[in-house]
Amino acid sequence: MSLRGLMRGNVLVLTVSRILWSMGDALVLPYLSLYILALGGDKPTIGWVNAIGSLAACLLYPIGGYIADKAGRARFVGISTVLYVSSFLIFAFSPSWQWVALAVTYQNVVLFYMPALNAIMADSIPPGARGKLYALTIAIPNAVRIFTPYIGGLLIDRMTLLPAMRLGYMISFTVGLLVAFLRIRYLKETVQGEGMGRDVVKIFVEGYRNVLGSIRWTFRNLRGYAVVSMLIAFMGSLILNFWVVFANEVIGLTEYEFGVIMLVGGVAKTIVSFVIGPIVDRLGARKCFMATFAIAIPGMYLFTLAQDYWSAMLIYGALVVSSAFMWIASSAYLADSIPREMRGRVMAGLGSGMSIGVTGGGYSSGFLVFIPMTIGSLISGYIYSYDAAMPWILQTVLLTLALVFTVVWLKDPERAQV
């Protein structure tokens, strides 16, 4: 099919949703760690807040995956988006870091619709075009998103941090309401649900009972991917929340300057994403994983040696490009590997892709990856406080280990699932 024929229906709705989110939450997300510090938290607090969020997400993700496969996906996604959007009000009016922690926890709990969202996207893209379409659904929103962190940094520079962040969260809330409306109104169902009734206790019991079956299927069919995904989730959580803190405290950059760096990184990611998709479809995901490791392993260590604005920009831009390779390739890999009838439950465990922990990359999700993410977030603040460069040094070592696992265990699927 032509690109115009592919970019329609659910794919179009979800792409437009991502474009709108790119004009909203990207204003504030890169600066959340600074917001926590400004509201009285410290470095370990940053890690604890994000760890609590990851742990909270574990609670309902199995339920979200079960509902997605058994009762349908489209309406579930639309209604749950409204709950997610409401979390921005808590962020906007938080008087202390404890309220931010509450907002992060609540936001991650209601994000349990993500397995259904990921499954809808995978269902709606035909085999053979998944690399191209996943690349475009990332590149097009990112073309808008590249300016948003820069605007967020500019607002902080002009208004100071707290007023700028509160304004940014209110903008995110307004944009989110529009996203929720589009999803409720226009998303179309991709599976025939069996119906689940109104017995909430039964839904929870059946949802958690299905977890063991999903885990067994995952490690029987996708063991290599699962191990690499969990390892990368752990190491990504060591650094994800400290990019802007390291840039500010160690390299000496202002929030505005780091916003410009993210702008340049976003431009590079957008340009590269347009060409990554066909490469994934032609070469397979495994070889693209190798490209990520080839850039990211030396890049993580080199970031700790950055001395000024220009060196930080060059290294960060290269890491963003490598992250784009990883995210697009892993998204296509999962869609090709998981049968439609169980995508919701398996994606509840593995998410929809892998991220190496670069701000602005994809968001790793799933209860199997949330566990290592929680552990990584818990210790990240203490490691950073001991030695600011240590999280990136550990990232270099663990990425090398992930490369070994990829070579030994991870294979491209022999036949793409519909």
Specify if 32 maps to a domain: yes
Q: What is the CATH number of the domain that holds 32?
A: 1.20.1250.20
Specify if 415 maps to a domain: no
| Residue 87 confidence (pLDDT) | 95
| Residue 113 confidence (pLDDT) | 85
Nearest to 45 by CA among 56, 55, 32, 57: 32
What pLDDT, in 10s, does the model give residues 112-159? 888 888 888 888 877 767 777 777 777 777 777 777 877 888 888 889
Specify if 414 maps to a domain: no
Distance CA 168, CA 68 (A): 32
Q: Containing domain of residue 253, as a range?
A: 3-409
| Residue 197 confidence (pLDDT) | 55
Count Cβ atoms within 10 A of the Cβ of residue 325 and give its class: 0-12 exposed, 13-18 middle, 19 or more buried: buried
| Domains of the chain: total | 1
Specify if 417 maps to a domain: no
Other beta carbons within 10 Å of 267:
16
Specify if 144 maps to a domain: yes
In which residue ranges of the chain is pLDDT below 50? none
Specify if 189 maps to a domain: yes
List CB contacts of 121: < 8 A, sequence separation 6 or more: 10, 11, 14, 134, 137, 335, 352
What pLDDT, in 10s, does the model give residues 209-263? 777 788 888 888 888 888 988 998 888 888 888 888 899 899 999 888 888 888 8
Specify if 85 maps to a domain: yes
Specify if 416 maps to a domain: no
